Amino acid sequence: MAMKAPRGTADVLPKDANLWRFVESTAAETARAFGYEEIRTPVFEHTELFQRGVGDTTDVVQKEMYTFNDKGDRSITLRPEGTASAARAYIEHAMHALPQPVKLYYCGACYRYEKPQAGRLREFHQFGIEAYGSEDPALDAEIIAVASTIFKNLGCTGLTLNINSIGCPECRKKYNEALISYLSSHSETLCETCNTRLTKNPMRVLDCKSPICKEIAAGAPHILDYICDDCRDHFEAVKSYLTVMGIPFSIDPTIVRGLDYYTRTVFEFVSTQIGAQGTVCGGGRYDGLLEELGGNPTPGMGFAMGIERIILVLRSMGLVKEEKNSPRLFVASIGQTAAALALCQKLRENGIYAMCDVAGRSLKAQMKNADREGAAYSLVLGEDEVKSGEAQLKNMETGEKETVSLSDIPALIARL
């Protein structure tokens, strides 16, 4: 039986890869315009990094990680997200010694063992940014602006930005009491995992994917009603900065995010056009994460966007046209393969996509191929052309022909 790719993974075929490159490069260029620089971290890390960083009681750590022992009997996990890895790298490479805030972006595959559906895969790709070393609400607003500008530059409209504050560990003490008392009255209906979460980390119940737990979560008290004065001032400042930057937002007091490290500002960009998995970008502040991972106390904030989901949004907008990579010049030959290869090679060294036959086709079949490939120009090399060093360059659209020298490459390129 023919092999198939594992469930929850997807090939990106050449017809789609242009769109992927467009999304990835637009996101990177936009982040660079805000002063972010690229970091690349390994696809796998020590399991403990995610247990400590993302949190033991999260769905991601409890149910979704690809974890295995390597041949040296170390517990290894394919990264389910990029924040813990980037924070690990910040600490490991002593980036606290650099001017702060340190601003990093990344793009790559992540792995979560989830139930695949439209917009939800087991191998998916995130573009994300992280900034370290500033507690100022101006950073929160600037980070949200990076995401908003990326969507603008991609031509992605119709997304809603929802923001919330989930306070600091201090506010959370008071909130947890209220939450535990509410959830305890429903403990008989909550799922088994949530019953253990109830005492360990009650906020995680609010993020459970089980439909019954979701229903119960809908009636839970909101943390926004419990945040302390400092957290409230911080949130007010973020909102006012977003307003002056002209970034529209809604307050959604139900956002808690699925990962444990968040403090204060959290946000999501949501689309209603791509089905149940409509969150295209999620992020927030995490002022305790670096210390949790053994670093100096260092505030941080960032977001990640799902590339597959962005592509679904762009497709749902009907703006995507498939582009083919067509040659500028098709060099056909009558028994002159060596000369055709040599000419193409010179053009390619100059960045011109030139094509010649490498499949032993007849001249007629070569010309048909030039048409099919959408070549802008063609020329034929026979014995005469090779001897004289000149050929007839044909414009494939108009049929016009002109004589060109085969040795003067700059002049030939100027014609193409």
> Which of 87, 293, 305, 313: binder of ligand HAM (CB under 6 A)?
305
Six-digit token string for 1: 């039986």
Rounded Cα distance, 118 and 116, in Å: 7
Q: Judged by CB under 6 A, which of 258, 288, 295, 299 binds ligand HAM?
A: 258
For 13, other C-beta atoms within 10 Å of its C-beta total 7
Buried/exposed code over 31-45 (b: 16+ C-beta within 10 A; e: otherwise)? beebebeebebeebb
120 binds ligand HAM per the rule CB under 6 A: yes
* Using rule CB under 6 A, residue 315 touches ligand HAM: no
Nearer to ligand HAM, 60 or 224 (CB): 60
130 near ligand HAM, judged by CB under 6 A: yes
Alpha carbon distance 297, 8 (integer Å)? 38
Q: Residue 204 and residue 258: Cα distance in Å, rounded?
A: 7
State yes or no: cis peptide before 101, omega within 30 of 0.
yes
* Cβ proximity of 79 and 111 under 8 Å: yes
* Cα 3 off chain centre by: 28
Interface with ligand HAM (CB under 6 A), residue from 222, 264, 309, 394: 309
Map residues 9-38 to x or -, x wherever contact with ligand HAM holds by CB under 6 A.
Answer: ------------------------------
Query: Which position among 128, 133, 167, 299 is part of the footprint of ligand HAM (CB under 6 A)?
Result: 128
When binding is defined by CB under 6 A, the residue of 83, 85, 366, 369 that contacts ligand HAM is 83
- Give yes or no for a contact between 140 and 265, defined as CB atoms under 8 angstroms apart: yes
H helix count then E strand count, the chain = 15, 16
d(C-alpha 136, C-alpha 299), whole Å: 9
Q: Quick check: 282 binds ligand HAM (CB under 6 A)? A: yes
Which range, of 153-161, 219-227, 276-284, 321-329, touches ligand HAM by CB under 6 A?
276-284
Of 57, 58, 77, 114, the one binding ligand HAM by CB under 6 A: 114
| 306 sits near ligand HAM (criterion: CB under 6 A) | yes
One-letter amino acid at 237 equals: A
Alpha-carbon separation of residue 61 from 82, 169, 275 (angstroms): 14, 21, 25
User: Of the candidates 19, 39, 121, 159, which one interacts with ligand HAM according to CB under 6 A?
Assistant: 121
Among residues 302, 311, 385, 394, the one that binds ligand HAM under rule CB under 6 A: 302
Which residue among 137, 283, 288, 327 contacts ligand HAM (CB under 6 A)?
A: 283
Binding site for ligand HAM (CB under 6 A): 81-83, 112, 114, 119-121, 124, 126, 128, 130, 258-259, 279-284, 302-306, 308-309
